[in-house]
Amino acid sequence: MDLKILPGISSPADVKALPLDQLPTLASEMRQAICAQVQKSGGHLAPNLGVVELLIALHHVFDFGHDRLLFDVGHQCYPHKLITGRFPQLDKLRQRGGMGGFPDPSESDYDLFMVGHAGTSISTATGMARGDTLRGEGWSPDNPGGRRAVAFIGDASIVNGLAMEGLNHAGTLKRQFLVVLNDNGMSIAKPQGAVASYFDRLRVSNTYRSVKRAAKGVMSSLPGGDTLRDWSHRLGEVAKDMVTDDPWFEKFGLLHVGPVDGHDLPGLVETLATVKDFDLPIVLHAHTVKGKGFEYTESNATAFHSPKPHSVQGCRVEVASGGRSFTSAFGDALCELMERDGTVTACTAAMPDGTGVQKAIERFPDRTWDTGICESHAADMMAGMAKTGLRPFFAVYSTFLQRAFDQCFQESSLQGLPLRLCLDRAGLVGGDGAVHHGFCDVTILRSLPGAVLMAAIDEQSLRAALEFMRTHDDGLSAVRYPRADVDERLIDAGCPPFEIGRARRLREAGRPDVVVLAYGVPAMTALDAAASIEQDLTVEVWDARFSKPVDTRLIASTLERGIPILTIEEQGRIGGFGAAVVEAAADQGLDASLIERAGLPDSWIHQGSRDEQLAEAGLDVPGIVRSIRAAAGRRTRVAEPPLVESPDRTAAPTG
């Protein structure tokens, strides 16, 4: 890789100092560097390749050491990070000590928010614009040294409900405010909904094809265009040629400029230089190509949205292979449910590949939907289907479920409707870091009366949980599973059906020193930990299966014998599975001091490998061994009552 300009970029000032004719070379070098690193480490590739020119132009025109730049989603920030001096950290992208995959104020003052969820930039930028104005620091013609505000939004985030709310309020601003809409005709996958179709029409309309026509002709053709003519006069010769009569943005109170070519660096610089000093809210609509610069990323931007490490050999791309993922297992299991039961429907919110739902979309297109980045709508739509007697499944990342909690409460749980939640990426997610960890789904869903919450430990238990959910029509249910490959060690043991509120024994001990109740995949790690210390301590391991309701009979029979319990979960300890076990013990008048809890700490765990994150949380084998020993230390010294038969109703093998 022959990089001549990029290594010398230590701040946006270096970009501003470059002659305009060198900016395309810088853009090419940035694409090369990003692509080469993502091939090694994985990461968000196509979204970043598509915004290189836009971000170069923005930094060339604005001073974001002083002005405000707010990102949406955040997975389009790599070029911004390279411009703001983080090229030396690129070689450890998404790793400990390296460049994070999302904006992060701890990395740089140029990052104003840590952000990885869609729809937020317009609202936070509006807040900063209002705050700067109230403090006398906002830009205006009377305060030319003030701060300007720019919201950068793309990958179809504009259709998110929060973005709509932000636009609605941004239109009331009486000051400079710029929304840069990166319209690449894509979301994470194919964009969905009426707004996406509207932008498709706009991109190919006569307005777009004739955007360079004379300003006088444009303005005279606009109906009742006195206001637009006045705005265009104030904008100047460059931008007024691109003012369009766009009723969608106009209804929000924002002037619409474009669409412009988001890869035309000289044109972008010229346009931005003109609109930056306009003292009313503007949307600059830029048309870009997701994955720009490489044939394989342009032709398959969905597959290369956030690929694993891969190599490119001529026209062939080889992606690093791994084991069978929980996501893939879920996709197959969902299709089997839909094949057997015509009342089963499914949806996802912009993550058909990421959740495995794409398989069902292809096989059952009349019963499966991608709603776009609209988690709240998806949950409510599924609740509506449940009201008609269908059996809806909503596949969503645990971290994005948070955005639909109100709908899970009001339209599902409160109504007693059986919304079925399939929570992918539950727990620690590796390189995406804190913005994407699924650390609180148990906590928030446990608060809903009548909710039934489960976790899978392998593919067989995932299928069994889904089958239980299929016929559970009494209210909201959920199953969680991690961003990991399925463990196949129990594949020949069979998997008993899920029985509400009952755990499954995985490792038997006649008179255990410690009983481990593990919720989800930590059960497999607990088996390894128990085996590693069997010379010192006798440990019984149970797959808890349910965090609501928990197995109260098992808890009682264990504590009544004075045997300590260790709970393990890949979820926050506050309000999680362990807390549910402690509450169940207290409710039965049992000694809850015998319960030791292991789970995610009350602190943020940042980017790194999933193994590193599990070790930090104490959920690897050495960490669980420490927790087992701590639990054993809680054992009471009182005389123990006679051994009572354990309430095990399964034929599961011992460890």
Hey, which residues are catalytic here?
Answer: 290, 375, 403
AA letter at 93 = L
Which of 540, 555, 557, 456 is closest to 498 using CA atoms?
456
Q: How many CB atoms lie within 10 A of CB 95?
A: 18
Q: How far apart are the first and last CA of the chain?
A: 51
Q: Where are the beta strands (DSSP E) in 139-254?
A: 149-154, 177-183
**Cα–Cα dist 217/241, whole Å:** 9
Q: How many CB atoms lie within 10 A of CB 491?
A: 12
651 near 494, Cβ under 8 Å? yes
CA angle 622-627-633, nearest 5°?
130
Cis peptide before 259 (omega within 30 of 0): yes
Backbone phi, psi, residue 477, to 5°: -135, 160
Q: How many CB atoms lie within 10 A of CB 305?
A: 22
Strand partners, 310: 319
Strand partners, 150: 69, 178
Helix, strand, or coil here: 183? strand
Which pair of structure tokens corresponds to residue 193? Answer: 């909904």
Q: Where are the alpha helices (DSSP H) in 289-407?
A: 295-299, 326-340, 352-355, 358-363, 375-387, 398-401, 405-407
**Cα–Cα dist 163/500, whole Å:** 40
The DSSP secondary-structure symbol of 408 reads I
Sequence-ordered list of residues with C-beta below 8 angstroms from that of 531, at least 6 positions apart, any chain? 655
343 near 392, Cβ under 8 Å? no
244 near 219, Cβ under 8 Å? no
Q: Which long-range contacts (CB under 8 A, 24 or more apart) does 235-238 make?
A: 235/274, 235/275, 235/278, 236/274, 238/270, 238/271, 238/274
**Cα–Cα dist 428/600, whole Å:** 9
**Cα–Cα dist 132/125, whole Å:** 10
- Give me the residue label for tokens 């104005």: 133
Would you call 560 exposed, middle or buried from its count of C-beta atoms within 10 A (0-12, 13-18, 19+)?
middle
449 near 416, Cβ under 8 Å? no
Q: How many CB atoms lie within 10 A of CB 161?
A: 15
Backbone phi, psi, residue 399, to 5°: -65, -30
Which of 124, 121, 164, 125 is closest to 148 using CA atoms?
125
Which of 576, 603, 564, 469 is closest to 522 using CA atoms?
576
Rg of the chain over CA atoms, in angstroms?
A: 27
